[in-house]
């Protein structure tokens, strides 16, 4: 089996796995795990790390979903359930870190100071990465402001603490997973394009777990693509975390989260 075809199959199984686990399709999920297990056994050494990495993510994701089933049954506020849901992302992070340790791989996640000197080159234009990042933030602030101004001031005030905690936890954990460890590892062991596609689409599909539709989740993959570009250009995860926090705040106050 050619390397390119193998990588496509691995990515497809990964996407199917996230989707089937999100929709609690046990049979499909089991087939995905078995298929990745077979590929892991028969693949060459250099591809085993990639397969095992994505498999460890899916295992962590199953634990994440089970944890949230338990949280959902608790007699607590919706806000606290949402916070605990985001904290449960630690199970996914633990899984992929454990996989690195098994393969004796260095864990890297673009935790350096942002370098804004690398421009984003478009087909007919070149744009400064800082201004690309800033424009993206401003555009999102304007869009969400349209929804937020329709809320009463009491509603905004009551959500301040929840909004800050949710936005920070969600942005940091999701970015560490997708634009941190996974993007770094897949870029190193496959290719930059493969790493960007897998992490962007996977990031979008993860939103199925909080009730988003498949079409909206795939649309969110575009945000994942933007985060990935910014991370790679600045060689830092922090600009994407800030961008992500801004969007989370907008989603909370516009009513998309609770």
pLDDT level of residue 103 (50, 70, 90 thresholds): very high
DSSP alpha helix (H) spans, 73-208: 78-87, 90-102, 129-148, 153-158, 160-175, 183-189, 192-206
Q: Is the pLDDT of residue 1 over 60?
A: no
If we measure between CA atoms, which residue out of 48, 31, 166 comes closest to residue 99?
48
Find out whether 37 and 55 touch, Cβ atoms under 8 Å.
yes
How far is 189 from 195, CA to CA, in rounded Å? 9
> Of all residues in the chain, what percent carry a pLDDT higher than 70?
100
pLDDT digits (tens, 9 = 90+) for 20-52: 999 999 999 999 999 999 999 998 888 999 999
- 3-class secondary structure, 255: coil
Residue ranges covered by each domain of the chain: 3-253
Q: State the pTM of this model.
A: 0.95
pLDDT of residue 158: 86
Q: Cα Rg for the chain, rounded, in angstroms?
A: 19
Residue in this structure with the two tokens 């193998």, named with its chain if needed: 6
């Amino acid at each position: 089996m050619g390397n390119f075809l193998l990588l496509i199959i691995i990515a497809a199984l990964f996407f199917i796995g996230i989707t089937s686990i999100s929709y609690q399709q046990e049979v499909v999920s089991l087939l995905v795990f078995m298929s990745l297990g077979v590929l892991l056994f028969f693949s060459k050494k250099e591809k085993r790390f990639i397969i095992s990495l994505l498999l460890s993510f899916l295992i962590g994701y199953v634990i994440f979903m089970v944890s949230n089933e338990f949280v959902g049954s608790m007699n607590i506020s919706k806000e606290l359930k949402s916070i605990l849901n985001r904290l449960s992302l630690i199970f996914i992070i633990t899984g992929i870190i454990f996989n690195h340790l098994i393969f004796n791989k260095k864990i890297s996640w673009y935790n350096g100071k942002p370098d804004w000197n690398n421009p984003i080159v478009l087909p007919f234009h070149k744009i400064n990465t800082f201004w690309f990042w800033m424009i993206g933030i401003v555009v999102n602030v304007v869009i969400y402001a349209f929804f937020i101004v329709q809320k009463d001031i009491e509603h905004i005030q009551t959500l301040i603490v929840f909004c800050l905690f949710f936005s920070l936890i969600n942005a940091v954990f999701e970015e560490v997973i997708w634009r941190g460890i996974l993007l770094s590892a897949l870029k190193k062991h496959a290719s930059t394009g493969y790493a960007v596609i897998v992490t962007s689409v996977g990031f979008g599909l993860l939103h199925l777990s909080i009730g988003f539709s498949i079409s909206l989740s795939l649309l969110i993959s575009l945000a994942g693509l933007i985060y990935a570009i910014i991370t790679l250009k600045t060689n830092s995860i922090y600009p994407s975390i800030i961008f992500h926090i801004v969007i989370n705040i907008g989603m909370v106050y516009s009513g998309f989260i609770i």
